[in-house]
Amino acid sequence: MRTVEWEGGAVKMINQRALPWKLETVRLESVEAVAESIRNMTVRGAPAIGAAAAFGMALAARQSKAESVDALLADLLRDGAMLKRARPTAVNLAWAVDKLLQIAESGEFNSADDLREVLLQAAQQIAADDVAINSRMGQVGAALVEDGATVLHHCNTGALATVDYGTALGVIRAAFQAGKDIHILLDETRPRLQGSRLSAWELEQAGISYDIIPDTAAGYYMQRGEVDIVLVGADRIAANGDVANKIGTYQLAIMAQAHGIPFYTVAPTSTIDLGLSSGDQIPIEQRDPAEVTTPYGNPIVPAHFKARNPAFDITPQRYLSGIVTEFGIARPPFAESLRRVVAGQQA
Ligand code: MRU
């Protein structure tokens, strides 16, 4: 099953808020509903929200009553801006919307309906490419994982965070499929628990050995020599190699370096934003403090207790061993290697 897809004139997606208890899908029939599904994390994970936004644009085109290409374009610009506002950090969202807008703005179309059709095909292509790219990254990255290794992983970077297969979890999947005997330590990833709710659910399905650990136990296992490699995803990578990823990644990277453990980010080139020279320019989403005090509606403390909830942090490039992409492993100096992979050249 795909995390997000087009079905019968609507966007169908797995409801990630219901996992691991219930595997259910929702059907969204308006671009507003797609934007809301991204905001409330029915769909989440950088590449998955990119694909959802692409299908959202195809839906916006269908929904629009415009009869001319110009009028349709005006509606698409408005709806594209709304989709982009849904979540600020993962660049894949803006990347997908802009890709469809560029097609709409640059093409010669005989009619508004022609444009509608071309946009749907482009969204389908983005989704199909995502699956193919993840599988390539899996092959590239699997070489980093040795037989017998224990891998520490943060958040959810699997099939659910993408259209299918996954980024860092895709590498883990590929290493497992290559016959390597591996064990995964899954950070639970407070406050939304993507590690315990989603990554553990995926590894259960795949039959890959794992243990959920509290986020605060990562240093304990590193110090005991029980972690061979850390693999994480990314939501946006600046031109110098600084990485925005799920909150908690920064401290993992520092601890990994202190213990001499290799630390890799796995991300498609659509996550690289060459327009930003360093990580301090990446917008960091601040989410509702209630996610910290009352996770999934279960109060941990009285509702008036104060909390903060930054959803991402920035890992400076000096802590990275490399960035696994569909064009190979980018290594320092990242300014050069990232430019090469974004141009479609081998790292
Ligand atoms: O807030 P989320 O769950 O959308 O977080 C984004 C992520 O999935 C991770 O940060 C991940 O590492 C991106 S890679 C698929």
pLDDT tens, residue by residue, 140-184: 999 999 999 999 999 999 999 999 999 999 999 999 999 999 999
Pocket test for ligand 1, best of 16, 194, 288 (most atoms within 8 A of CB): 194
What's the confidence (pLDDT) of residue 239?
A: 98
Nearest-atom index, ligand 1, CA of 232? 12
CB atoms within 10 A of CB 72: 23
The phi, psi pair for 288, rounded to 5°, reads: -60, 125
Ligand 1 centroid to Cα of residue 312, in Å, is 9
Q: What is the mean pLDDT of residues 291-300?
A: 95
Instruction: Give one DSSP letter per residue of 277-322, joined into a string.
Output: SSGGGS---B--THHHHSGGG--SS-TTS----B-EEEE-GGG-SE
Secondary-structure percent of the chain, ordered helix, strand, coil, rounded to 5: 45, 15, 35
What's the confidence (pLDDT) of residue 95?
A: 95
pLDDT of 108 strictly over 90:
no
What's the confidence (pLDDT) of residue 88?
A: 95
The secondary structure of residue 266, as a DSSP letter, is: E
Q: Ligand 1 within 6 A of 99 CB? A: no
Ligand 1 centroid to Cα of residue 116, in Å, is 30
Q: Ligand 1 within 6 A of 134 CB? A: no
Distance CA 185, CA 227 (A): 8
Pocket test for ligand 1, best of 43, 246, 263, 323 (most atoms within 8 A of CB): 246
**163-173 residue pLDDT tens:** 999 999 999 99
Question: What's the mean per-residue pLDDT of the chain?
Answer: 97
Q: Ligand 1 within 6 A of 38 CB? A: no
> Residue 52 in contact with residue 34, Cβ under 8 Å?
yes
Closest CA to 169 of 232, 214, 110, 78: 232
Instruction: Give one DSSP letter per residue of 103-169, joined into a string.
Output: HHHHS--SSHHHHHHHHHHHHHHHHHHHHHHHHHHHHHHHTTS-TT-EEEE-S--BGGGSSSSBSHH
What's the confidence (pLDDT) of residue 337?
A: 98
**302-335 residue pLDDT tens:** 989 999 999 999 999 999 999 999 999 999 999 9
Q: Domains plus CATH for the chain?
A: 4-134 (1.20.120.420), 139-342 (3.40.50.10470)
Residue type at 224 in one-letter notation: R
What's the confidence (pLDDT) of residue 185?
A: 98
Tokens, residue 233: 């995803």
Instruction: Point out which residues pair with 14 in neighbouring strands.
Output: 25
* pLDDT grade for 107, boundaries at 50, 70 and 90: confident
Q: Strands 25-28 and 322-325, how do they pair? A: unpaired
pLDDT of 99 strictly over 90:
yes
Q: Ligand 1 within 6 A of 233 CB? A: yes
Instruction: Point out which residues pair with 272 in neighbouring strands.
Output: 237
Ligand 1 centroid to Cα of residue 311, in Å, is 9
Distance CA 254, CA 277 (A): 22
Q: Which sequence positions are flagged as catalytic?
A: 235
Distance CA 196, CA 44 (A): 15
Residue whose Cα lies nearest atom 6 of ligand 1: it is 45
> Residue 198 in contact with residue 231, Cβ under 8 Å?
no
Provide long-range contacts, Cβ within 8 A and 24+ apart, for 215-218. 215/187, 215/188, 215/189, 215/190, 215/248, 218/152, 218/185, 218/187, 218/251, 218/252, 218/255
Q: Ligand 1 within 6 A of 235 CB? A: yes
* pLDDT grade for 276, boundaries at 50, 70 and 90: very high
Nearest-atom index, ligand 1, CA of 87? 4
Enumerate residues 6+ apart whose C-beta is below 8 A from 237. Answer: 243, 244, 265, 267, 271, 272, 273, 323, 338
> Residue 347 in contact with residue 340, Cβ under 8 Å?
yes
Q: Ligand 1 within 6 A of 16 CB? A: no
Ligand 1 centroid to Cα of residue 140, in Å, is 20
Ligand 1 centroid to Cα of residue 65, in Å, is 35
* pLDDT grade for 30, boundaries at 50, 70 and 90: very high
